[in-house]
Amino acid sequence: MDLMEIIRNRRSIRKYRSDEIPQPDLNEVFEAVQLAPSANNLQPWKFILIRNDKKKRLIAQACSGQEFIGEAPIIVVACAVGRGGYIGKYMESWPVDLAIAVTHLILSAWNKGLGTCWIGDFDEDKIREICNIPPSVRVAAITPLGYPVKTVPPTSRRPVERIICQESFSE
């Protein structure tokens, strides 16, 4: 599939089939993650793949009870490890680095016919406990991963003209 076609067609999926994901497809999805750029090439990430049904239910509960998360064959917990670089000398780069890596995961998964749904609403302490994540590691994002039950219609987007400014910021 063409990259722009993947970007245009990708949707957040909230209903998953129970089919197993073939290992070669998973390998390719995570190769895309491995190839994601990061500040100073520090690659400050680890991805935990959760297949255990009990853990998946607990994670769904820790994500404000969004039960659909636990219905996917795999839940991916994206973690920031170590220290990243800095952005503008005012913030660590790991949130951006992880966002890029998770975007690679999401687009590569869609290319393989797999759906995801970026989850940001979670109780980090509960996720830490469920996944045995040490205090020095941050949970950056969670996504279910599996084959969609159905296609989802596109959502509306602002026109390009409303998000681009020329030469300086303008409303």
Per-residue pLDDT of the chain (171 residues; tens, 9 = 90+): 799 999 999 999 999 999 999 999 999 999 999 999 999 999 999 999 999 999 999 999 999 999 999 999 999 999 999 877 788 878 889 999 999 999 999 999 999 999 999 999 999 999 999 999 999 999 999 999 999 999 888 889 999 999 999 999 988
Please enumerate in sequence order all residues whose Cβ is within 8 A of that of 72, keeping only pairs 6 or more positions apart, or say none.
Answer: 16, 56, 115, 144, 145, 146
Q: Give this prediction's pTM.
A: 0.94
CATH no., domain 3-162: 3.40.109.10
119, 128, 171 from 59: Cα distances, Å:
11, 10, 40
pLDDT of 123: 98
pLDDT of 27: 98
pLDDT of 87: 83
